Chain A
Amino acid sequence: MQERVKSPKFDVVGTRPVRPDGADKVTGRAKYGADHAVAGQLVGKVLRSPHAHARIKSIDTSAAAALSGVKAIVTRDDFAEQSSEFVPAGEMLVNYRDVLRNVMARRKHCSRGIRWLRLPPRRRQSLARR
């Protein structure tokens, strides 16, 4: 006669444990990346395109550089050797160089200075790849 298969006993599988990080998460104590602050920390701010599809005509960083506490500004020109995969350089990019302008500063800043040529939105990925 075939022996009956014993139902295995598991310590974890089939139980409903309360997640170990749960209490910290429901009380707001859990620390995520953006929640950490150390002395002298620099804050990075990314300025992204407000348009669905556009060509960058120019980037003027002088206003951002003039703000107090600004330590560094990074634009696409700092990545000239990086190839642009989807669309030509200077258009709205979807790779590493789509970081249009990073401002590193002691405090959070947001300012303008990019001139855009707005283009009709590209709906299909295949079009955007050309």
Chain B
Amino acid sequence: MKHHVTTTVNGDEVEYLCDTEQTLLDCLRDELGLTGAKEGCGSGDCGACSVMLDGRLVCSCLVLGVEANGKKVDTIEGMAKGEKLHPLQRKFLEHAALQCGICTPGVLVAAKALLEKNPNPTETEVRYWLAGNLCRCTGYDKIIRAVMDTAAEMRGA
């Protein structure tokens, strides 16, 4: 039996049909075609599937599709406003804080959540906050620098 789910994704009201066991990640990717969130591990270790659910950072592979009913989901696809990149996205490019890019959507969603909660984080706070987002390319330093730089710019702006 399929469940009919009505939810808001990146500000748009959307509907989809899903099975009980389908994760929110599967629903975003397979039902809605939003493939920005990636499945790295499927067990909440890697953070590649990070999305915001009612303003809370979650691993969408650990949330069921039906749980999004009546809630607000924000994904990487909603981060840039048209062609205008979010400061985090711009700084990630400037600092070369990505290589293969599989972890990048999750890292960006998580970093945005951090800066909304704490606009002036210490390096340690950034490292702890992003500890749930694994990256096998960059060695993290460039990611941390990009987030710190973005925070400084957004505070100044």
Seen from chain A, the residues whose Cβ lies within 8 Å of a Cβ on chain B are 16, 18-19, 21-23, 25-32, 34-35, 37, 108
Bound-state Cα–Cα, A19 to B75, Å: 23
Stretch at the interface among B54-62, B63-71, B99-107, B114-122: B99-107
Residues of B within 8 A of A29 (CB): 36, 77
- In the complex, the chain A residue whose C-beta lies closest to that of B33 is A37
Residues of B within 8 A of A26 (CB): 80, 85, 89, 92-93, 98, 101, 104-105, 108
Other CB < 8 Å A-B pairs besides A27-B80, A108-B30, 20 of them?
A16-B96, A18-B94, A19-B96, A19-B98, A22-B92, A23-B85, A23-B93, A26-B93, A26-B98, A26-B101, A26-B108, A27-B89, A28-B34, A28-B37, A28-B75, A28-B76, A28-B79, A30-B101, A35-B29, A37-B33
Given A26-B104, A27-B85, A28-B77: A18 in contact with B93 (beta carbons within 8 A):
yes
Given A22-B93, A28-B76: A35 in contact with B85 (beta carbons within 8 A):
no
Interface of A is mostly: loop
Bound-state Cα–Cα, A30 to B38, Å: 11
- In the complex, the chain A residue whose C-beta lies closest to that of B90 is A26
Asked if B35 lies at the interface with its beta carbon under 8 angstroms from chain A, I say yes
Bound-state Cα–Cα, A1 to B96, Å: 44
**Closest beta carbon of chain A to B40's beta carbon, Å:** 10
Given A21-B101, A23-B85, A108-B26: A28 in contact with B96 (beta carbons within 8 A):
no
Residues of A within 8 A of B75 (CB): 28
Bound-state Cα–Cα, A26 to B104, Å: 6
**Closest beta carbon of chain A to B25's beta carbon, Å:** 11
**Closest beta carbon of chain A to B46's beta carbon, Å:** 14
Bound-state Cα–Cα, A34 to B75, Å: 18
- In the complex, the chain B residue whose C-beta lies closest to that of A18 is B93
- In the complex, the chain A residue whose C-beta lies closest to that of B36 is A28
Is there contact, CB below 8 Å, between B38 and A25?
A: no
Bound-state Cα–Cα, A105 to B14, Å: 26
Interface CB pairs A-B, < 8 A, 9: A19-B93, A19-B96, A23-B85, A25-B101, A27-B85, A28-B36, A28-B79, A34-B35, A108-B26
Bound-state Cα–Cα, A24 to B35, Å: 12
